[in-house]
Amino acid sequence: MNYHLVLTRRCNLNCIYCHGGEETGPDTELKYTIDELEHFLSKDPDFQLMLYGGEPLLRIPLVLELLDRFPDTRFMLQTNGLLLHQVPEDYLHRFHSILVSIDGRPEVTDFYRSEGVYDRVLANVQSLNSIGYKGDIVARMAVSEQTDIYRDVRHLLDLGGFKHVHWQLNVIWDAEGNWTNFDRWVKDSYKPGITALAREWVDAMEGGKVQGIVPFLPVTYSLLTGEPSRLRCGSGIDTFAIHVDGRVGVCPISPDWEFSIVGDIRYTEPAELKDIMQVDEPCPSCSEFAVCGGRCLFANKQRLWGQDGFRKVCDTVTHLTGALKVQLPRIRDLVKSGMVDMENFQYPEFNNGCEIIP
């Protein structure tokens, strides 16, 4: 099983699309002991831990304690990257994957995340590479109206410091505060950008290189093999969040919604959690369900944008899968010729917190 450990709900940024930095007070910090956590995890014969927040590196002593307490466990880290330089080098090498929040070009990142953030994050990513970090460094984008998906993904790929680039659309919370014209942005910017990225992604394969565009990789694998996918992030299936109060939720972003709370580390057995929740209609009846897997459990259950907004976001997914289907004959030929290998598309090796479907 995969567990997001929410180490604190506080953050040292106050991004336009998140407002996580506003969380204060005692309810933001751990209410359970590491001994209680260890007792819970001891009942799970195969688990990995994904350190999450808020910003987990605001609690570096706790991070180090966890790494020491569970020396044989696979660890992932999701961070805004600002404090990576404060983590001792030998501990950094313990992480299988480090997902770093960065939204693309400097002007886009700094617009949403605060001036100077891009340079500070990039310096820490460069430092990770300079110490010979062998794990997966993932650029994790939050995509909103200032984003040019083509230019921003290309920028991050071309930097060379990230092995993979992933993005999530800023379409969970209220539309009014985040978008001026979502429909126009999708039509004029996002969809053309996805089409261009897919085409150039396959162009690069003709030179033997499969670039690490995260949403494209596993979706293409599904299209090539015909193997259906369940909800790709694993929420409610084999991936859960342990919130700061010890409650277990299906997703780390939804601790304040009762539907998402499915247990507590003090009295729930890990075996009771597996496959506890799945997406509702219209997802299972959708023609893209076998490839998409259901997009987002939280969005499926809550639909904060309403039915019309839910369908609009699904349309962006259909466009992405469609753009890859157009390129599928070329990809099949490249696989058949041996220019690229099917293994190139089997990502991630282990669930690393990338939801896959934007």
2-345 — its CATH code? 3.20.20.70
Does this model's pTM top 0.75? My answer is yes
pLDDT, tens only, 133-168:
999 999 999 999 999 999 999 999 999 999 999 999
Report, as an integer, the average pLDDT of 250-265: 90
What pLDDT shows up at residue 175? 57
- The residue extents of the domains of the chain are 2-345
The answer to whether the CB of 77 falls within 8 A of the CB of 98 is: yes
Helix (H, G, I), strand (E, B) or coil at 173: coil
- Tell me whether strands 74-79 and 261-264 are parallel, antiparallel or unpaired: unpaired
Q: What stretches of the chain show up as alpha helix (H) in DSSP?
A: 34-41, 60-69, 89-92, 106-113, 117-130, 149-159, 182-185, 191-205, 216-225, 270-273, 289-292, 297-302, 306-337
Which is more confidently placed, 175 or 310? 310
User: What's the pLDDT band for 213 if we cut at 50, 70, 90?
Assistant: very high
β partners of residue 268: none
Contact criterion met (CB below 8 Å) for 1 and 240: yes
Residue 219 reports pLDDT greater than 60: yes
Question: Can you give the pLDDT at residue 214?
Answer: 98
Residue 142, classified by CB atoms within 10 Å of its CB into exposed (0-12), middle (13-18) or buried (19+), is: buried
Band of residue 20 on the pLDDT scale cut at 50, 70, 90: low
pLDDT at 23 over 80: no
Neighbours of 179 (CB within 10 A): 16
Q: Measured at the alpha carbon of residue 305, what is the angle toward residues 186 and 109, in degrees to the nearest 5?
A: 50
Tokens representing 326 are: 């157009």
Quote the pLDDT of residue 220. Answer: 98
Pairing of strands 164-169, 247-249: unpaired
pLDDT band at 81 (very low <50, low <70, confident <90, very high): very high
Assess contact for 34 and 101: CB atoms under 8 A: no
Cα radius of gyration rounded to whole Å, the chain? 20
What is the CB-side half-sphere exposure of residue 292 using CA atoms within 13 A?
25
Percent of the chain exceeding pLDDT 70 equals 97
DSSP assignment of 290-353: HHHTTS-HHHHHH-TTHHHHHHHHHHHHHHHHHHHHHHHHHHHHHHHHTSS-GGGG---SS--S
Res. 255: pLDDT tops 90: no
Pairing outcome for strands 247-249 and 239-242? antiparallel
CB 131 within 8 A of CB 90: no
Residue pair 15/112 in contact (Cβ under 8 Å)? The answer is: yes
Taking 70 as the threshold, does the pLDDT of residue 262 lie above it? yes
Over the chain, what is the mean pLDDT? Answer: 94
pLDDT at residue 276 greater than cutoff 70:
yes
Instruction: Tell me the CA distances in angstroms from 118 to 37, 102, 123, 156, 320, one per residue in order.
Output: 35, 7, 9, 11, 27
pLDDT for 110 equals 97
Both structure tokens of 83: 């404090």
The confidence band for 22, taking pLDDT boundaries of 50, 70 and 90, is low
The answer to whether residue 113 scores a pLDDT higher than 60 is: yes
pLDDT band at 253 (very low <50, low <70, confident <90, very high): confident
The helix (run of H) or strand (run of E) holding residue 288 is: none
pLDDT of residue 11: 93
Quote the pLDDT of residue 256: 81
Average pLDDT over residues 328-332: 97
Is pLDDT of 245 > 80? yes
Overall average pLDDT of the 224-231 stretch: 95
pLDDT per residue over 165-193, tens digit each? 999 999 987 655 678 999 999 999 999 99
Among 162-171, 252-261, 270-279, name the one with the lowest average pLDDT. Answer: 252-261
HSE-up of residue 114 (Cα within 13 Å, Cβ side): 13
